[in-house]
Structure 1
Amino acid sequence: MDRKGMGICVKWSWEKKEEGKGCRLEIPWLFQGLGNVGRTIGGFITHHRPRSYATSNNENRRLQSLAPDDAEERALALALTTKKEATLIQFYSPRCRLCASLANVMMEVEAKNAEWLNIVMVDVENRSWLPEVLHYDIKYVPCFVLLDSYGTALAKTGTPASRSHVLTGLSYLLESMQPIRKAIIHVPSHANSSTT
């Protein structure tokens, strides 16, 4: 008996039936965010397993072809778990010249603020990021969203009118974090206070 014909095909009731096409399951956009979490966890497991558990060459080629998307997803997950004081998400498009012109600036910002800030780049043209694009209401690129250490959005830049406008918005985001950082650093410790 041929094993290829024994597969199960699940389709949503609202999908069109296409004769001669293979079974292709696309989950509704509402549940795609769960796929991001699963791929991120799977990426950590694949990325951090010991060398003795190395995958086959075919699987390595498949994983390498997925590397850019998975790298972005792992970067966001890692940024949110490092518990630095803030994470800056840069929403960009590979076709956006303004986004590309910010690459050197972003490297400088990252180097200068590495002790307290994570920077993560998110490609808005990648369908797997649709839940995040919708959640943060991204309607233009480049767009920056500042998150606190718990992943709560604190601020977002406005519509980019020019490169200088984007850089001004970015500097305002970083400056807005300064009072919060000082409060975190200068909070008195209650553990040292004596109760008499």
Structure 2
Amino acid sequence: MTLDPSDMPSNSEADTATTSQRLRNFLVAMVAIALSIALFFGSRQQTEQPSLSALAADSTPIEIALTNQKPTLMEFYANWCTSCQAMADDMHSLKQEFSDQVNFVMLNVDNSKWLPEVLKFDVDGIPHFVYLDGSGEALASSVGQQPRQILADNLAALVAEDTLPTSKAMGQTSIFQPAVRGNQDDPRSHGGMPAGGI
């Protein structure tokens, strides 16, 4: 079989094919770089969601919340509580939206300092939310993971001094059993109470 010179690509056709291939390779490389950058920043954004500890550190101290005449949303939580963790973004955005009008108080149930409040508000599952009016009187509570909109509606009603639209709501919870006596075997106790309890 002999090759006909007219069947052979000319140099200009070969150059065009090579240039086209280089352009495709360049575009593929650019798309890969762009996707890598997007994934990097997307994963950074996901890991930078507010932590429960950061939210608690930025919350209003209970002593101030009970005396400043503003309504209060009190959240009982624990760092190990997956429902509490799942709500951290919503709680952060709600605090940004309502912080001028509402106190946001976070009480870690693992800290025995809050045992009187845990008992007073019958906390047996977390997250546990208590809505307090400006005088510190409990108006309603909800237990478990709550949709952001329910919390927002309740906070808006709290600010307006209206009846809360969802005053008793239940969601997914982490079971919490308050330790009335110090128990060094309890991994959540962190050695917070002396032997013999209160």
Q: TM-score normalized by structure 1?
A: 0.48
Considering fraction of residues, name the structure with more helix: 1
Q: TM-score normalized by structure 2?
A: 0.48
Task: Find the structure with the greater CA-based Rg.
Answer: 2
